[in-house]
Amino acid sequence: MGNKDKQQQNISSGISQIVLKNAATFDENGASFENLNSINFIYGANGSGKTTTSSFLKNLAENRIENKFANSKIELHNSENLNIEVYNKQFKEEQFRNSQVKGIFTLGKKTNENLENIESKKESINKEKEKKKKNKENLQNLTQEKEKEEKDFVDRCWEKLYKKFEEDFKETLEGFKRKEKFKEKSLRNLKTINTIKSR
């Protein structure tokens, strides 16, 4: 196929015209792109409508039209289904992703989504680790408090009960001359008293 035939094929397929009205920089009079080929480059100064035009085409490519493009349209060279590809800033951001390692990047929207998912999972794991660490610290603190309370209780039982009545109840207290043993006896007696009171 010669260059003339290729050029004719490009002209006879794809978008023939783009019309943009009442969208961003385009007013009610609008603007149109005509004599288009199957591959077209859109360039211009800042604020000239490059981003608006590419966003409109991307909307069409994704089979969705935003309200701001209600008065905009395209015309085709023929009625065949058209696969529109838009290479703009958004495409670059979706397809290329800088790595945390300098000089490394990844290519592909799906890859970027997977990497973002991995980063999200890592963040969740780190949060769970931090939560686990705090829970462990809280458990240690509660354990220490419990041990201190138990020791204080044992000492109080010994000083306020055993020592106070040691001489009067020597025979009764036989076999309970150690703090831990006496504490256990005191708790059993207290339980018995509470049971009697509840009847």
pLDDT in tens, the chain (199 residues): 444 444 444 444 577 788 888 888 888 887 888 888 778 888 888 888 888 888 888 888 777 777 788 778 877 777 566 778 888 777 777 666 655 544 445 555 666 677 778 888 888 999 999 999 999 999 999 999 988 888 888 888 777 776 676 666 666 666 666 777 777 777 777 677 667 666 6
Token pair 């951001």 is found at 93
Model pLDDT, residue 168: 64
The CA distance from 194 to 130, in Å, is: 44
**DSSP conformation letters of 54-92:** HHHHHHHHTT---GGGTT-EEEESSSS-------SHHHH
Q: At what angle do helices 179-197 and 109-157 cross, to 10 degrees?
A: 90
Model pLDDT, residue 194: 67
Model pLDDT, residue 69: 81
Structure tokens of 89?
């800033």
Structure tokens of 88?
């703009």
Quick one: DSSP state of residue 117? Answer: H
The CA distance from 59 to 56, in Å, is: 5
The CA distance from 82 to 18, in Å, is: 14
How many other CB atoms are found less than 10 A from the CB of residue 151? Answer: 11
User: Residues 21, 29: contact at Cβ < 8 Å?
Assistant: yes
- Which H or E run contains 107? strand 105-107
Threshold 0.75, pTM exceeds: no
Model pLDDT, residue 186: 74
